[in-house]
Structure 1
């Protein structure tokens, strides 16, 4: 094609861009729960701190100042509190996975980062724990 025929040039389609996202977070959620592999940890609750960051697809259309149009952090916090009261969990890794599963139940959540800290596990440490990141598959 010659440069004298610009009307015959067609553009290639643009790649579809990812939906825009934002982050929803819960910092320093404190729960008392039965967690750990040792006998004394199975008999007495201990404090656990959770920090959670969700990457969430933006709502399509206006939010209209309506919490039904957002991923509600209170709903997530209530589900976590219910979980930790229902069962003994041996490992912080297991708790982190269960919390990630709760967060990923919302179809708008595309990624979640969960940090779980046992606050009294070691006398010489402020906390011990795990951080995981999970993506929607």
Structure 2
């Protein structure tokens, strides 16, 4: 699944994801970036063991709620100026891994307005519980 993480077996996991969450946020280290918001896209994949996410009674409490992902992202991007995309990705990954059902997480961020000659520049992090 992830070449650099081939030692980690995620085959018994369900992937829960948030795709292309868009926000205008204050992010960047340059003075020009500190004066205005920038368009950012966030993507999240959570890997949850099937044993912890296969509903028996068809109830929300048996799975990881999508709202948890969206709310976590919204709180982080609304929390004030962030200098680095790496910081944002790492903070989000830490928050997601704090959930007792989440085994691994992949988070990416993309700044859409950084350069006129490309679609986006970004960062991605993958982390897993030991």
- Where on the TM-score scale, by shorter chain, does this alignment land: which range? 0.7 to 0.9
CA RMSD of aligned residues (A): 1.8
Structure 1 match to 2:17: 25
8 Å contact kept, 2:76–2:88: no
Q: 1:90 to 1:128 in 2, by over 3 A?
A: same
Whether 1:43 aligns to 2:39 is no
Aligned to 1:102: 95
Counterpart for residue 110 of structure 2: 117
Segments of 5+ residues of structure 2 without an aligned counterpart are 1-9
Larger Rg: 1
Q: TM-score, length-normalised on structure 1? A: 0.80
- Aligned to 2:107, the other structure's residue is in SS state strand
Cα distance in structure 1, aligned partners of 2:72 and 2:55: 27
User: Quick one: distance in 1 between partners of 2:25 and 2:49?
Assistant: 32
Long gaps (5+) in structure 1 = 1-17
Name the CA shift for 1:60/1:19 in 2 (closer, same or farther; >3 Å): farther
After TM superposition, the runs of 4+ consecutive aligned structure 1 residues lying more than 3 A away are 60-63
Distance of 1:108 and 1:74 partners within structure 2? 15
Equivalenced residues, count: 120
TM-score computed with the length of structure 2 as normaliser: 0.84
Contact preservation (8 Å) 1:63, 1:70: no
Taking the aligned partners of 2:98 and 2:21, their CA distance within structure 1 comes to 19
